[in-house]
Amino acid sequence: MRLYTNSLRNRIFFSMMVLTIIASVLIAGMSIYQFKEQAKDYHEKRLLRKEQAIKEDISYVLEKTDFEVITENLSNIFRDEIYGLSAVHGMPIYMHDLQGKLRKSSKAQFVTDSIHSQISGPILNKLRNSDDGRYVREFEIDGQSYRSSYSYLTDNQFKNIAILNLPYIENDDFMSYELEEFLKRLALVYALMFCISIVLGYFLARYITRSIRNISDNLKELDISKRNRKLEVDHQGTEEINTLVESYNKMVDELEESAVKLARSEREQAWREMAKQVAHEIKNPLTPMRLTVQSFQRRFDPAGLDSKEKLNEYSNSLIEQIDIMSNIASAFSTYATMPAQKNEETDVCMVTQLALDIFNESNIHYREDTTSLKAVFDRTQLIRVVTNLVKNAIQASHPDRENTIVVSVKHDNYKIYLTVSDKGTGIHSKNEKKIFEPKFTTKNSGMGLGLAMVKQIVENFKGSIDMKTIYGEGTIFTVTLPRS
pLDDT value, residue 235: 56
Same-domain check for residues 105 and 17:
no
327 in any annotated domain: yes
Q: 257 with 294, same domain?
A: yes
Position 85 confidence tier, pLDDT thresholds 50, 70, 90: confident
Co-location of 315 and 378 in the same domain: no
| Per-residue model confidence (pLDDT) at position 113 | 44
**Where is pLDDT greater, at 437 or 331?**
437
Number of structural domains the chain divides into: 4
pLDDT tens for residues 238-249?
666 677 777 777
Mean pLDDT of 439-445: 58
User: Would strands 415-422 and 144-154 be described as parallel, antiparallel, or unpaired?
Assistant: unpaired
22: in domain: yes
In a domain, 223, yes or no: no
Check residues 382 and 300 and name the one with the higher pLDDT. Answer: 382
- Please state the separation of Cα 20 from the chain's center in Å: 24
Directed axis angle between helix 239-299 and helix 173-220, to 10°? 20
Q: Do residue 452 and residue 414 come from a single domain?
A: yes
Question: Are both 266 and 299 inside the same structural domain?
Answer: yes
Q: Using CA atoms, how far apart are residues 292 and 319, in angstroms rounded to an integer?
A: 12
pLDDT of residue 185: 85
Nearest to 155 by CA among 60, 62, 51: 62
Residues 99, 23 share a domain: no
Does residue 349 sit in the same domain as residue 332?
no
pLDDT band at residue 69 under the 50/70/90 scheme = confident
Residue 3 has pLDDT above 50, yes or no: no
Alpha carbon 421 to chain centroid distance?
A: 47
Q: Is the pLDDT of residue 324 over 90?
A: no
The residue out of 336, 365, 399 marking a domain boundary is: 336
Mean per-residue pLDDT for 34-58? 86
Q: Tell me the per-residue pLDDT of 254-291, one tens digit each, with 9 for 90 and over.
A: 777 777 777 677 666 766 666 666 665 566 566 566 66
What is the phi/psi pair of residue 316, to 5°? -65, -40
Tell me what percent of the residues of the chain surpass a pLDDT of 70: 73
With a cut of 90, say whether residue 224 has pLDDT above it: no
Q: Does one domain contain both 136 and 187?
A: no
- From residue 205, alpha-carbon distances to 201, 212, 213, 411 in Å are 6, 11, 11, 52
- The CATH number linked to 442 is 3.30.565.10
* Domain annotation covers residue 70: no
Alpha-carbon span 408 to 418, nearest angstrom: 6
Q: What is the 3-state secondary structure (H, E, C) of the chain?
A: CHHHHHCHHHHHHHHHHHHHHHHHHHHHHHHHHHHHHHHHHHHHHHHHHHHHHHHHHHHHHHHHCCCCCCHHHHHHHCCCHHHHHHHHHCCCCEEECCCCEEEEECCCCCCCHHHCCECCHHHHHHHHHCCCCEEEEEEEECCEEEEEEEEEEECCCCCEEEEEEEEEECCCHHHHHHHHHHHHHHHHHHHHHHHHHHHHHHHHHHHHHHHHHHHHHHHHCCCCCCCCCCCCCCCCCCHHHHHHHHHHHHHHHHHHHHHHHHHHHHHHHHHHHHHHHHHHHHHHHHHHHHHHHHHHHHHCCCCCCCHHHHHHHHHHHHHHHHHHHHHHHHHHHHHHCCCCCCCCEEEHHHHHHHHHCCCCCCCEEEEECCCCCEEECCHHHHHHHHHHHHHHHHHCCCCCCCCCEEEEEEECCCEEEEEEEECCCCCCHHHHHHCCCCCCCCCCCCCCCHHHHHHHHHHHCCCEEEEEEECCCEEEEEEEEECC
* Least reliable range by pLDDT among 35-39, 213-217, 221-225: 221-225
**Which of 120, 138, 169 corresponds to the end of one domain?**
169
393 pLDDT above the threshold of 80: yes
Indicate if the pLDDT at residue 109 is higher than 60. Answer: no
Residue with the bigger pLDDT between 294 and 116: it is 294
pLDDT: is 28 or 306 the higher one?
Answer: 28
Q: Which of the pair, 210 or 150, is modelled with greater confidence?
A: 150
Instruction: Please tell me the distance from the alpha carbon of residue 361 to that of residue 183, in angstroms, as a whole number.
Output: 98
Q: What angle do CA 178, 180, 168 make, to 5 degrees?
A: 55
Q: Domain range for residue 248? A: 240-336
pLDDT of 209 above 60: yes
Of 301-305, 311-315, 460-464, which has the strongest mean pLDDT?
460-464
Q: Are residues 277 and 309 in the same domain?
A: yes
* 12-16, 108-112, 286-290: range with lowest mean pLDDT: 108-112
Specify whether the CB–CB gap between 261 and 244 falls below 8 A: no
Domain end, chosen from 140, 169, 198, is at 169
- Average pLDDT (381-388) is 87
Q: Which range is least confidently modeled, 12-16, 129-133, 370-374, 424-428? A: 12-16
Q: Which of 459, 444, 204, 427 is nearest to 324 (CA)?
A: 444
Judge whether 128 lies within some domain: yes
Q: What is the mean pLDDT of residues 31-58?
A: 86
More confident residue, 477 or 225: 477
Taking only the tens place, the pLDDT of each residue in 350-365 is: 999 988 887 878 899 9
User: Residue 52 and residue 64: Cα distance in Å, rounded?
Assistant: 19
Whether the CA torsion 412, 418, 421, 426 is positive or negative: it is negative
- The answer as to whether 87 is a domain residue is no
9 and 30 belong to one structural domain: yes
Whether residue 112 has pLDDT greater than 60: no
Q: State yes or no: pLDDT of 54 exceeds 80.
A: yes
Would you say residue 109 lies in a domain? yes
User: What average pLDDT score do residues 374-378 get?
Assistant: 91
Residues 49, 196 within the same domain: yes
Local confidence band at 407 (pLDDT 50, 70, 90 cut-offs): very high
pLDDT band, residue 343 (cuts 50/70/90):
confident
Contact at 8 Å (CB) between 148 and 163?
A: no
Output 199 or 476, whichever has higher pLDDT.
Answer: 476
Pairing of strands 405-411, 364-368: parallel
- Domain co-membership, 183 together with 317: no
pLDDT at 406: 94
Higher pLDDT, 328 or 452: 452
Whether residue 86 lies inside any domain: the answer is: no
Q: Residue 231 has what pLDDT?
A: 66
Count of alpha carbons within 13 angstroms of residue 385, beta-carbon side: 30
pLDDT at 111: 44
**Which amino acid type is present at position 314?**
Y
Tell me, what's the pLDDT at 1?
41
pTM of the model: 0.38
Under the banding of pLDDT at 50, 70 and 90, the label for residue 4 is: very low
